[in-house]
């Protein structure tokens, strides 16, 4: 069931009706699920790296480095860290959407197959 390749063609035409638009899409539920899993793994990796970097920077600015320059650096680092967290959340969101799309394709295939069963 998951090996089904979905195709929707896009073009212009039609009989006395003006314009008919179709899009061509080729995808399998396995490919969607695979990319979703890779994105989720990437998000976990980013989270781990951000945590490690935060520990390193925290140790530097709280102990070894003080003063105005340290404070300015730490403020800039916090902005960078927040951007990294946004990236992680974005990857997780994309992963979730791809997983939902994979399930929708699988359900669609199952529903179509059921229409041909007695």
Sign of CA dihedral 93, 94, 97, 102: negative
Which residue range(s) make up the domain with 75? 29-115
Q: Within its chain, how far is the Cα of 58 from the centroid?
A: 30
The Cα-based distances of 89 to 15, 51, 57, 93, 105 in angstroms read 47, 15, 22, 6, 24
Q: Given the structure tokens 């730490």, which residue do they identify?
A: 74
Asked if the structure places residue 7 within a domain, the reply is no
- The answer to whether the predicted template modeling score (pTM) of the entire model surpasses 0.95 is no
How many independent structural domains does the chain possess? 1
Asked if the structure places residue 67 within a domain, the reply is yes
Asked if the structure places residue 20 within a domain, the reply is no
Compute, in degrees rounded to 10, the torsion defined by CA atoms 78, 82, 84, 90: 180
- What would the DSSP string read from start to end of 62-95? III--SHHHHHHHHHHHHHHHHHHHHHHHHHHHH
Q: What are phi and psi of 26, to 5 degrees?
A: -125, 120
pLDDT in tens, 51-97: 999 999 999 999 989 999 999 999 999 999 999 999 999 999 999 99
Q: Share the mean pLDDT of the chain.
A: 87
pLDDT grade for 16, boundaries at 50, 70 and 90: very low
Asked if the structure places residue 15 within a domain, the reply is no
């Amino acid at each position: 069931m998951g090996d089904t390749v979905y195709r929707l063609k896009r073009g212009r035409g039609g009989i006395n009706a003006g314009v008919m638009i179709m899009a061509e899409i080729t995808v399998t539920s396995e490919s969607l699920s695979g990319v979703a899993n890779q994105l989720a793994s990437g998000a976990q990796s980013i989270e781990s790296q951000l945590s490690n970097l935060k520990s390193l920077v925290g140790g530097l600015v709280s102990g070894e480095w003080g003063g105005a320059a340290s404070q300015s650096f730490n403020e800039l680092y916090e902005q960078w860290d927040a951007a990294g967290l946004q990236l992680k959340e974005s990857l997780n969101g994309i992963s979730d959407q791809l997983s939902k799309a994979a399930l929708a394709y699988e359900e669609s295939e199952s529903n179509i197959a059921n229409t041909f069963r007695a």
